[in-house]
């Protein structure tokens, strides 16, 4: 659809809805070669809240039924809770509508398989929103790895730590319910780490072959907002996993939503035969790198005009933030839609992540190392 305005429908107007709507609004200001986009329809259940959100986020129309929207727009953003990822996304793809679905792709592997099959059968672009692939420092790190600066990759370490559920009286939400979320820290946070490791080193180490893992729930029930009721927590608060790659490289992954003192600490380290690198989301403009002939790590401030995406923003040295990753992601996705090109991370990429999450759950259930399905 080169030269055409792309109409966008969005399911969800809270956290992720605001993040993506902000990105769509920023595109013409900072990415002049981005496709023209019409924020067409915002979808939600509460008509009053929906109307207010549409005004704030710049959408021309509202709807309370996603089924009436998926074949009426060019692109459908599925930003709803995890239990709503499969059916709307599949319906949109069957209608030939391009899809951007938030992560994790699905609650469980069987749902992810259905979504993967729908994407394979459709000519539409099917994307999963792993936004951390679009951090400039991560793109810089991928370039170092691809250029052989780390040598043979031997180890990967990834952790994603938050503390918003430390207090046992933090209210219950859909993220605490296995029927709605699928899993807890594993899918909510671990999916990001598994995908980021796959993005950075997948070409060097191959696929994950075996997994061991442990999931733990520390707070078994939480209060329901505006009620005296307490509801069971049926997902994990934290997980740890160990993986082995086809090349023989090994990895350790963990995530927690009860790690006191950690607000949004997504850290990944890669160690090779010639060097190492480390990235933390809490210092997202920086990359720590140790080259072959360095005595220790050097900190690279990834804000030069020649660094990925930076030329679209501010003068060198002016740092970017978390919200900018969504602008980059939306730019790449919508450009792929407009040019009828492939996009990564795709549903296939997200399905491969889901296979690892599934293996971690099975390893915990069995108390033993398992192979991926």
Confidence of residue 3 (pLDDT cuts 50, 70, 90): low
Cα distance between residue 239 and residue 189, in whole Å: 10
Q: Both tokens of residue 244?
A: 């082995």
Where along the chain do its domains lie? 6-132, 135-320+341-371
CB 328 within 8 A of CB 134: yes
Q: What is the spatial distance between Cα 129 and Cα 22, in angstroms, rounded to a whole number?
A: 15
Across 44-53, 69-78, 169-178, 273-282, least confident range: 44-53
Label residue 4 by pLDDT band (50, 70, 90).
confident
Q: What is the mean pLDDT of residues 245-271?
A: 98
What span, in angstroms and rounded, lies between the C-alpha atoms of 45 and 13? 10
Span 103-118, pLDDT tens digits: 999 999 999 999 999 9
CATH for the stretch 6-132? 3.40.50.720
Q: Buried b / exposed e across 281-301, counting CB within 10 Å, b at 16+?
A: bebbbbbbbbeeeeeeeeebe
Q: For 85-127, give the secondary structure using H, E and C.
A: CHHHHHHHHHCCCEEEEECCCCCCHHHHHHHHHHHHHCCCCEE
* Arithmetic mean of pLDDT, 59-70: 96
CA–CA distance, 57 with 22 (Å, rounded to integer): 7
Strands in 126-129's sheet, in edge-to-edge order, are 61-63, 37-43, 6-11, 75-78, 98-102, 126-129
Token digits of residue 73: 């727009």
Residues 202-242 have pLDDT tens digits of 999 999 999 999 999 999 999 999 899 999 999 999 999 99
DSSP assignment of 172-218 equals P-GGG-HHHHS-SHIIIIIHHHHHHHHHHHHHHH--EEEEEEEEE-S
How many of the other CB atoms lie within 10 Å of CB of 229? 11
Q: Which of 147-151, 189-193, 290-294, 344-348 has the lowest mean pLDDT?
A: 290-294
**What is the distance of C-alpha 238 from the center of its chain?**
18
Looking at domain 135-320+341-371, its CATH class is: alpha beta
The pTM of this model reads 0.96
Give 295-342 pLDDT, tens digit per residue. Answer: 999 999 999 999 999 999 999 999 999 999 999 999 999 999 999 999
Q: What is the DSSP string of 23-79?
A: HHHHHHHH-TTSPPEEEEEEE-S-HHHHHHHHHHHT-SEEES-GGGTTTTSSEEEE-
Please give the mean pLDDT across all residues of the chain. 97
3-state secondary structure of 245: strand
């Amino acid at each position: 659809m080169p030269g055409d305005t792309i109409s966008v429908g969005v399911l969800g107007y809270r956290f992720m809805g605001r993040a993506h709507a902000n990105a769509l609004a920023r595109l013409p200001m900072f990415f002049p070669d981005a496709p023209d986009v019409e924020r067409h329809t915002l979808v939600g259940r509460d008509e009053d809240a929906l109307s207010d959100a549409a005004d704030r986020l710049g959408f021309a129309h509202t709807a309370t039924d996603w089924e009436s929207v998926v074949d009426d727009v060019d692109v459908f953003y599925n930003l709803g809770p995890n239990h709503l990822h499969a059916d709307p996304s599949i319906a949109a793809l069957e209608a030939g509508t391009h899809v951007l679905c938030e992560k994790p792709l699905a609650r469980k592997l069987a749902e992810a398989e259905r979504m993967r099959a729908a994407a394979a059968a459709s000519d539409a672009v099917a994307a999963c929103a792993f936004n951390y692939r679009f951090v400039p420092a991560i793109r810089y790190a991928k370039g170092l790895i691809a250029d052989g600066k780390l040598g043979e990759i031997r180890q990967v370490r990834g952790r994603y730590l938050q503390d918003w559920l430390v207090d046992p009286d933090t209210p219950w939400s859909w993220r605490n319910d296995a029927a709605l979320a699928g899993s807890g820290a594993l899918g909510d946070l671990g999916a990001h780490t598994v995908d980021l490791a796959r993005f950075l080193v997948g070409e060097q180490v191959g696929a994950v072959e075996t997994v061991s893992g442990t999931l733990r729930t520390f707070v078994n029930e939480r209060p329901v907002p505006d009620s005296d009721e307490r509801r069971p927590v049926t997902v994990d608060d934290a997980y740890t996993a160990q993986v082995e790659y086809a090349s023989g490289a090994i990895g350790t992954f963990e995530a927690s939503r009860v790690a006191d003192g950690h607000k949004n600490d997504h850290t990944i380290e890669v160690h090779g035969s010639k060097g190492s690198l480390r990235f933390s989301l809490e210092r997202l403009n920086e990359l720590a790198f140790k080259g072959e002939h360095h005595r220790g790590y050097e900190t690279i401030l990834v804000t030069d005009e020649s660094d990925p995406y930076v030329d679209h923003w501010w003068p060198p040295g002016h740092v970017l933030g978390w919200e900018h990753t969504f602008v980059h992601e939306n730019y790449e996705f919508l450009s792929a839609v407009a040019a009828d090109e492939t996009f990564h991370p795709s549903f296939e990429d997200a399905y491969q992540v889901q296979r690892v999450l599934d293996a971690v759950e099975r390893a915990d259930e069995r108390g033993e190392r398992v192979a991926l399905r």
